[in-house]
Amino acid sequence: IQVLCNYLRRSQALERISLSLEGCFGVNDNCVQALFQAFRLIQSLRSLDLSYYWCSRIGDIGLHALSLELLQMPKLCALSLSFAWCDKVTAAGVQVLCSAFEHLKRLQGLKLDFARCKSINDILFHSLALSLNKLKSLRSLNVNVNECELIGDSGLKALASGLQISS
């Protein structure tokens, strides 16, 4: 990860980054933070697609660090994050992450994947709905919560309400 971060710090012309670290069991919260610290230095970056699918050592600490770095990336137009099968990700971490989205005023596309995250609950949609109210440029939203057994009607109603207000 450190070699990649060093390269990214010198790659100021990149507009789009897509990186899949699926099943990289050595990737942890510190790696998430290091990558986002490098990403925020790329002033031309408009689109970011990251998959941490099945990175079992990523949890709320990584989401908190990611959220802080997102605050320094106001030019992002598209963001895709996958934390599917990341068992250490909880509703508390997702709540902090969603609160960072509202600062991405140019965001047109948002894709979130929390499939099979056992601790994800309705707080995801309640938090996302609050951010959607402030994202006037958002045109595309994709949220995957397959097999998140704690998601219920309350969260879906909150999301629907957030989508109606933002449109």
CB 9 within 8 A of CB 43: no
DSSP label at residue 18: E
Separation between Cα atoms, residue 41 and residue 35, nearest integer Å: 10
- Which residues pair with residue 78 across a beta bridge? 47, 109
Separation between Cα atoms, residue 132 and residue 161, nearest integer Å: 10
The whole-model pTM stands at 0.92
Per-residue pLDDT tens over the stretch 97-139: 999 999 999 999 999 999 999 999 999 999 999 998 889 999 9
Separation between Cα atoms, residue 155 and residue 166, nearest integer Å: 17
Per-residue pLDDT tens over the stretch 1-40: 899 999 998 888 999 999 999 889 899 999 999 999 999 9
**What are the structure tokens assigned to 50, written together?**
């990251």
